[in-house]
Amino acid sequence: MTDTVIELSDVDFRRSGVEILRGITLTVRAGERWALLGPNGAGKSTILGFCGAQTHPSSGTAHVLGHRLGRVDMQALRHEIGHVNPRHPLGSALTMREVVLTGLTATIELAMRWEPTAADLASADAAIDRVGLGHRRDARWPTMSQGERGRALIARALVAAPRLLLLDEPTTGLDVAAREQFLETVDALAETDPELTTILVTHHLEELPESTTHAVVIAHGEIVAAGPVAEVVTTEVISRAFEHPIRVSRADGRWAARAGRAAPRAA
């Protein structure tokens, strides 16, 4: 696949005179499934802000879905980007179906004076079915579990048929079972939406979906490594980024990290 979805070229970002990112260069293509890894405060959220057309770089250039930030209607561009954030600031008791419908209007609450069409309702129901929650479509937000909310937000993102899906630490607050259900839902997208590009932000290797194809690791506002996941998510790279000896392993398609003690000798 050759379609470029994200292209960051020598991007710097400063806030209140403080340098947050420097020299960020990254290319993400259609259908790739990226992980954005790094310790807290490394600059992951800022990079995601560029990808989501929320933030302009201080210098350098950022292209998202073929449009250069600063020369495009950012609000219009955001309609082509799905965003899953577990801190979704919904304040009212919308049903799951209503929450998903807000993905069509790119709003948090139901848009005033907007009535969904029959096609909109069918699209919302189809998105809910895709994440395995058809039996809960009438459940209200305050009564949903954290896992159900996470999958509902994936449905909300998918209902607008985005070209890019951003997942911002999406398993925050989930128990083990809910985390695994969520990751299974993400992995299924690789089969049902092969052209959809995803970027998942986390600092826990255990939260990487099996379908991850590429990774970028950042620390102190700079890229430590970027490329195919097997070449990037390694003991050497992760230990360097997190400034602590960490042993990385992979089994059955999933990653794990432990303190970098020597492996035990065979008995």
Answer yes or no: do 248 and 226 share one domain. Answer: yes
Answer yes or no: do 181 and 52 share one domain. Answer: yes
H, E, C per residue of 6-38? EEEEEEEEEECCEEEEEEEEEEEECCCEEEEEC
| Beta carbons of 233 and 37 less than 8 angstroms apart | yes
Answer yes or no: do 52 and 149 share one domain. Answer: no
Q: Does 242 fall in a domain? A: yes
Rounded to 5 degrees, φ, ψ at 184 are -60, -40
Among 164, 167, 94, 155, which residue's Cα sits nearest to residue 126? Answer: 155
Tokens of 152: 């509902």
DSSP 229: H
Q: Does 216 fall in a domain? A: yes
Tell me the residue type at 170: P
Answer yes or no: do 60 and 172 share one domain. Answer: yes
| Beta carbons of 16 and 181 less than 8 angstroms apart | no
Domain boundary among 161, 181, 204: 161
Helix (H, G, I), strand (E, B) or coil at 93: coil
Range of the domain at 134: 91-161
Tally of domains within the chain: 2
Query: What CATH number did the domain enclosing 184 receive?
Result: 3.40.50.300
Answer yes or no: do 104 and 217 share one domain. Answer: no
- Kindly give the confidence (pLDDT) of every residue in the chain, 267 residues in length, as a single tens digit, with 9 standing for 90 and above: 449 999 999 999 999 989 999 999 999 999 999 999 999 989 999 999 999 999 999 999 999 999 999 888 888 898 899 999 888 999 899 999 999 999 999 899 998 899 999 999 999 999 999 999 999 999 999 999 989 999 999 999 999 999 999 999 998 888 999 999 999 999 999 999 999 999 999 989 999 999 999 999 999 999 999 999 999 999 999 999 999 999 999 999 999 999 875 444 444
Q: Does 174 fall in a domain? A: yes
Q: Does 265 fall in a domain? A: no
| Beta carbons of 216 and 42 less than 8 angstroms apart | no
Distance CA 126, CA 168 (A): 24
Q: What is the pTM of this model?
A: 0.90
